[in-house]
Amino acid sequence: MHNVMLPRWAIERGSGANSFGAIDPATTALVVIDMQSAFVAEGEVFGNGHARDIVEPINRLAAAMRDAGATVIWTRQTVSDTPPLAMPPWQYDLSIPLVRRAVETMRPGTSTHGLYPAMAVDPGDLLIDKYRYGAFVCPAGELRAALEARGVEMLVMAGTLTNVCVESTARDGNMLGYKVIVLSDATATVTDEEQAAALLNLRLHFADVRDVAEVVGMLASRPG
């Protein structure tokens, strides 16, 4: 698991705009970003040990969220060749072998596109395909529609990669008016340095940053 600790000054500076000490499950969604085999499984193009380390914390928090009555949403990074879902051609140069391999892992129907088998997904959870790093700018618009339909006001965010799809979605969520909590020990990227940089910037400007134990405690201590 990542060895990262936010400096006190960053927590204090960021707390003025984004500090959330209570959770109302009725208006909260746990959004788990891209815990797919392509990003988690050993030997896959983006798979790494840090992502495998967060499987258990995510599953534990998802169970607590469901028990409290919150919405649980899982996203999958997805590739399409059909506009408007398709990415601009210049962003995926398929003449590069590594890029081609990466693109093929995120096509629907492949085992690598699916969620990592150890993820404890409940039949009542939502599963959303997204076609951009930030779920809110995805042309399909499924995440925002699902949140609005359920009256969600707060996002608790987990998953991978912290500095790519998690951060992109958290930033846009903040700008759209959602309260955002990013989980320090249920998000992962490739290195400790990237994790630290992403969490630092999120804490300063876009989100509260807490660990799973804190959020579970907030759920347990809520009135009623």
Domains of the chain: 8-220 (3.40.50.850)
Picking from 105, 17, 29, the residue whose alpha carbon sits closest to that of residue 69 is: 29
Q: Where are the beta strands (DSSP E) in the chain?
A: 28-33, 71-77, 126-130, 154-160, 179-188, 208-210
pLDDT average, residue stretch 93-103? 90
pLDDT at 194: 97
pLDDT at 105: 94
pLDDT at 221: 84
pLDDT at 224: 61
- Measured CA to CA, the distance from residue 132 to residue 183 in angstroms comes to 21
- Catalytic residues, by residue number, are 34, 130, 165
Does the pLDDT of residue 80 top 90, yes or no? yes
Does the pLDDT of residue 89 top 90, yes or no? no
Picking from 211, 218, 178, 186, the residue whose alpha carbon sits closest to that of residue 64 is: 218
Over residues 169-218, the pLDDT tens digits come to 999 999 999 999 999 999 999 999 999 999 999 999 999 999 999 999 99
53, 1 Cβ separation under 8 angstroms: yes
Does the pLDDT of residue 148 top 70, yes or no? yes
pLDDT average, residue stretch 126-154? 98
Q: What is the pTM of this model?
A: 0.96
- Measured CA to CA, the distance from residue 184 to residue 54 in angstroms comes to 10
37, 115 Cβ separation under 8 angstroms: yes
